[in-house]
C-alpha cells in the first residue's frame, strides 16, 4: 500500500534576529526559519528559501564603560527583520498507513528453554 504522502507547500515567514555583527544578526534570523516551520508541519524534509526581503535593518550604538568610568568603547548591536518566502517539502503523517504486527517484546528477557518446557510426569 503505497501512498504519495510527500507534499510541497509555499509559506511566507517574517523572522528577526540580533547580533554583534551584520552576519551574526542575519544568521540568527535565518536560523529561526526552521524552528517556526517545524511547529506547524508534521515532518519536514526540506526547506528552500525562494526569496529573502529585508523589511528592517537597524544598528544600535552605545558606549560601554569598564567600572562605570574607565575605558570607554563604542559598541554596536545589529537587528534585522526579514520576510522569507519558502518552499517546504514535508510528509503528511495522517496519510501514511501503518501495518500492525503482533511481535514479542523486544526488550523482554529471553528465558532459557528448560524453563519454558512443561514437565513430563
Domain residue limits, the chain: 10-91
**To the nearest whole percent, how much of the chain has pLDDT over 90?**
41
- Bridge-partner residues for 14, per DSSP? 83
Q: With contact defined as beta carbons under 8 Å apart, do 89 and 6 qualify?
A: yes
Q: Compute CA 10 distance to the chain's CA centroid, rounded to the nearest angstrom.
A: 17
Q: Which fold has domain 10-91?
A: Dodecin subunit-like (3.30.1660)
Which H helix or E strand runs over 33?
A: helix 22-40
| Structure confidence by residue, pLDDT tens digits, 66-111 | 877 788 888 899 999 999 999 999 887 888 888 888 877 777 777 6
Q: How far apart are CA 91 and CA 75, in angstroms?
A: 45
Q: Which residues contact 88 (CB under 8 A, 6 or more apart)?
A: 8, 9, 10, 11, 37, 41, 44, 46, 47, 48
Distance in angstroms (rounded) separating the CA atoms of residues 75 and 119: 84
**Residue 52 confidence (pLDDT):** 93
CA 26 from centroid of its chain's CA atoms: 17
Task: Find out whether 117 and 84 touch, Cβ atoms under 8 Å.
Answer: no
Amino acid at each position: 500500500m503505497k501512498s504519495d504522502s510527500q507534499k510541497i507547500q509555499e509559506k511566507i515567514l517574517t523572522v528577526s534576529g540580533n547580533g554583534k555583527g551584520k552576519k551574526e544578526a542575519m544568521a540568527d534570523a535565518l536560523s529561526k526559519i526552521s524552528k517556526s516551520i517545524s511547529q506547524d508541519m508534521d515532518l519536514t524534509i526540506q526547506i528552500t528559501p525562494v526569496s529573502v526581503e529585508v523589511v528592517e535593518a537597524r544598528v544600535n550604538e552605545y558606549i560601554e564603560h569598564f567600572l562605570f568610568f574607565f575605558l570607554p568603547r563604542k559598541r554596536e548591536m545589529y537587528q534585522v527583520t526579514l520576510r522569507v518566502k519558502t518552499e517546504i517539502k514535508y510528509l503528511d503523517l495522517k496519510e501514511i498507513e501503518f501495518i500492525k504486527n503482533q511481535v514479542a517484546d523486544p526488550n523482554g528477557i529471553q528465558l532459557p528453554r528448560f524453563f519454558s518446557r512443561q514437565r513430563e510426569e
